[in-house]
Amino acid sequence: MSMIVVVTENVPARLRGRLAVWLIEVRAGVYVGDVSRKVREMIWLQISELMEAGNVVMAWAVNSESGFDFQTLGENRRMPVDLDGLRLVSFYPVENQ
């Protein structure tokens, strides 16, 4: 079992309801729980099928230098980057308008 955190933005209500079955919504769009790897992967599959135009990040505890790993889905300025085994976040430049 491993603690996970899921943060959603602009996702349909049916996905938020589905996440609330397995996790606790501690703030609007922020879910936490302690689940197995198999359940975490099933939750991610549900997210990828139901998120539509929103975006999601899921983070979970692992035995590594940083102590966590994460994955993202959907459009966002933040881009995951692997730097010598460390997962970091880089930002896409702000578009001039």
**Alpha-carbon gap, residue 6 to 47, rounded angstroms:** 10
Indicate the DSSP class of residue 60. Answer: E
**What tens digit of pLDDT does each residue of 25-68 get?**
999 999 999 999 999 999 999 999 999 999 999 999 998 888 88
Closest CA to 87 of 95, 96, 74, 78: 78
Mean pLDDT of the chain: 90
Give residue 79's pLDDT band: very low, low, confident or very high (50, 70, 90).
Answer: confident
**Alpha-carbon gap, residue 95 to 97, rounded angstroms:** 6
- 57 HSE (CA, 13 A, CB side): 13
Q: Which amino acid is at 16?
A: R
> At residue 96, does pLDDT exceed 70?
no
